[in-house]
Amino acid sequence: MLVVEQILNGLQLGVTLFLMSAGLTLVFGIMGLINLAHGSFYMVGAYVAAWVTGLTGSLLMGLLAALPAAMAVGMAIELLVMRRLYTRDHLDQVLATFGLILFFNEMARILFGRQPLFLDVPDMLSGTVEILPGVPYPAYRLAIIAVGILVALGLWLLISRTRLGMRIRAGASDREMAAALGANVTTLQTLVFGLGALLAGLAGAMAGPILAVESGMGEKILILAFVVIVIGGIGSVRGALVAALSVGLVDTLGRAFLPNLLRLIATEATADSLGATLSQLSIYLLMALVLAWKPKGLFPSHG
């Protein structure tokens, strides 16, 4: 039954990665912008949720506050900084957004201190759910999976069934033509950037009760988010979902079972060390295999 538990852990990680990568892939697909600071919106969501929860005693209030806060910060950054980078080359974008990472990390230390903040799981979700006979699983992690599924469904409806989604798809395919046909591409870019920041903030807020809320927490998950959008195909939300779940499962199952498997052929110390290394490499091996098969990713949005 450990396998079932680890599969669910992998799905929960995959959902978090999807929330991070969905906005990131839309921003890159529509604007051609490499935004290394996307993980900072994840951190903003986590800190706002922790702060508001501390004031109100309600994680739900913290979550509700984190979403508009992350979106507002994202839209402000787009207006003040990102608009000056759209026509610049990728090196300028990397340097500028790396500077934003340093700015956000230092601001977090100034506002909240250097010590990590910790969130408690709300009482109504603090127990476990018996998903199979004899297999209890934390209710909060199941809630994260459910929220991720609902968000994925909402994004699909938004992008494929609404006029705004039509404009987003048009902007991702050809910005110049979309503008020529009357779409306000400037406003569209701001909205998409804000939506991406909101999703990242949601991921950070939900991760607060599982991980420590601390300065720099967005950088680790940002690396995985970039792996996800490369595997899924740049600009594809469907690809981001499939790739995020795949990466979450490969990473979690590798960490859980590779050391035990290697103990069959090596000493315990060697198996643990080698297993930890191979589990970290597994997602990059997955990316290499996918790109060898489909160089543009699983579901490329262009061509």
Residue 227's region, left for phi above 0, alpha for psi from -120 to 50, else beta, is alpha
Per-residue pLDDT, 303 = 44
Look up residue 106 and give its two tokens: 């230092």
Give residue-wise pLDDT tens across range 185-208. 778 888 889 999 999 999 999 998
Per-residue pLDDT, 289 = 94
Sequence-distant (6+) residues with CB within 8 A of 243 are: 21, 227, 228, 229, 231, 232, 290, 297, 298
Q: How confident is the model at residue 272 (pLDDT cuts 50, 70, 90)?
A: confident
Give residue-wise pLDDT tens across range 225-261. 999 999 998 878 888 999 999 999 999 998 888 888 8
Is pLDDT above 50 for 104?
yes
Return the SS3 of 126.
coil
Look up residue 95 and give its two tokens: 């340097």
Q: How confident is the model at residue 302 (pLDDT cuts 50, 70, 90)?
A: low
Is pLDDT above 80 for 182?
no
Per-residue pLDDT, 73 = 96
Mean pLDDT (whole number) for 104-111: 94
SS3 percent helix, strand, coil of the chain, rounded to 5, is: 75, 5, 20
Q: What is the mean pLDDT of the chain?
A: 87
